[in-house]
Every structure is written in structure tokens, then in C-alpha cells.
Amino acid sequence: MKTLLAAVGVLLGSIPVASGQSYPSRPIVLVVPYSAGGPTDTLARIMSARMGTALGQTVVVENVTGAGGTIGVGRVARAAPDGYTVCIGHWGTHVVNGAISSFNTMC
């Protein structure tokens, strides 16, 4: 039994361990699809301070306004899928705008 356990230990010890980059390794951009000074922007700034402390990285709040939030959300949707560009919004920017756009393309 000891020989079997020793053999298993040797096999497990020889398996290479995957080591990825630590996240986050650069600043995170938090996109607010509304103008500065509003309630969504205020919430984003409070969250970014706490996120930065928890993650040990800078979180930059970027206000991208226009078209009822569609421009800001579109910017995040087209960003690289690496987790460094995130968006904050509400049902209007994340549900209604998409539903309206889908409806308009079907008609």
C-alpha cells in the first residue's frame, strides 16, 4: 500500500501546474454610459474605490455618454474579452436598448 501511495505521489508531483497571469495586472476601466455627476456615476465611483482596494489595482471610471447609454454599452461590448473593461448601468441600458434594437432589425 505504501508503494502504491508513493507511486501516486510521484505521478501527481510530475504533473505540470498551469500558472496564468495574476489578474489584474493593469488598470481596469469601468465604463459609465451616462454623464458625470448622476446617480450611476456616483455609484460607479464608490464601487471603483472599493474594487481598487480589493483587487490592488487602479479602477478608472470613464463616462461615455450618448444615445441613451447605447454608445457606452457598445464600447464595452466591442472591447477585448479580457475582463479589463467593464460596464455599470441599469435595465434601460442592458435590457431595453437591446430589445428595441432587436425589434427594429426585425421590422
Q: Spell out the domain ranges in the chain.
A: 22-106
Predicted confidence band of residue 91 (pLDDT cuts 50, 70, 90): confident
Rounded to whole angstroms, the Cα distance separating 73 from 60 reads 16
Give the count of beta carbons closer than 10 Å to the beta carbon of residue 78.
8
Domain 22-106 has CATH 3.40.190.150: yes
Q: At what angle do helices 97-106 and 70-78 cross, to 10 degrees?
A: 90
Residue pLDDT, tens place only, 14-63: 556 555 678 899 999 999 999 999 999 999 999 999 999 999 999 999 99
- Residue 78 reports pLDDT greater than 70: yes
DSSP letter, residue 28: E
The three-state secondary structure class of 91 is helix
Exposure on the CB side of residue 13, measured as CA atoms within 13 A:
6
User: Both ends of the chain: CA-CA distance in Å?
Assistant: 71
pTM of the model: 0.74
